[in-house]
Amino acid sequence: MTLFINSLSYPCNKYQDFSNRIAIFVSLLIFIYIVTLMAFSRVFVVFMVIVTIVPKFNSAKEFIVGDDSGWTINFDYKAWAEGKDFQVGDTLVFNYPVGVHNVFRVNGTDFQNCSKPPLSEALRSGNDKIVLATPGRKWYICGVAKHCENANQKLFINVLPQTQSPGAAPAPSPIYTKFHSSRASKRPFIFW
């Protein structure tokens, strides 16, 4: 009788030991599965945030001023700019040999008269990048010698406000709209 009781209280036989190992292994698999699901949900949330944000940044374009000719003399920049839609967030790239040209941002009057600002305001890297940060008219000239006056090295563009892609800004949910309109002075509780 003592031998029977001992065999019940201690997992001495090989079948009980094997079943205990299987139970531990199954518990470990369940734990790994739950951790994987939790990690996947975090990855999914990060993925959704990136998918929502990226279209806004991808809409910006980079324009090489003068295309293959670059920023140079005797080029028709008016014809080059015609038909292009410059928007806030786009970048203008002025490519030219260092020391041969420069770039000044000027106002409309200085553009018409080819009046250059102080030399300290010149861009002269040979690969000048200008991000179009605000909408409106923008004027650029070369301030070297008489490149603007005699060789027409000047550019005028009109920058449009940034347009959003069709799925970039989702409409507010009906719950938020209803809650917000009925309690204008209180902020809604947002679940994350």
pTM of the model: 0.58
For residue range 65-93, what is the model confidence (pLDDT) as tens digits?
999 999 999 999 999 999 999 999 999 99
Q: Check residues 8 and 32 and name the one with the higher pLDDT.
A: 32
The CA distance from 125 to 103, in Å, is 9
Q: Check residues 114 and 43 and name the one with the higher pLDDT.
A: 114
Q: What is the pLDDT of residue 88?
A: 94
Cβ atoms of residues 134 and 88 within 8 Å: yes
The answer on pLDDT for 1 being more than 50 is: no
Mean pLDDT, the chain, rounded, equals 79
Q: What is the pLDDT of residue 163?
A: 77
Burial 58-93 (b: 16+ CB within 10 A, else e): eeeeebebbeeebbbbebebeebbeeeebbbbbebe
Residues 6 or more apart whose CB falls under 8 angstroms from that of 114 comprise: 141, 146, 148, 149, 154
Percentage of the residues of the chain whose pLDDT score is greater than 90: 53
Lowest-pLDDT range, 106-120, 133-147, 177-191?
177-191
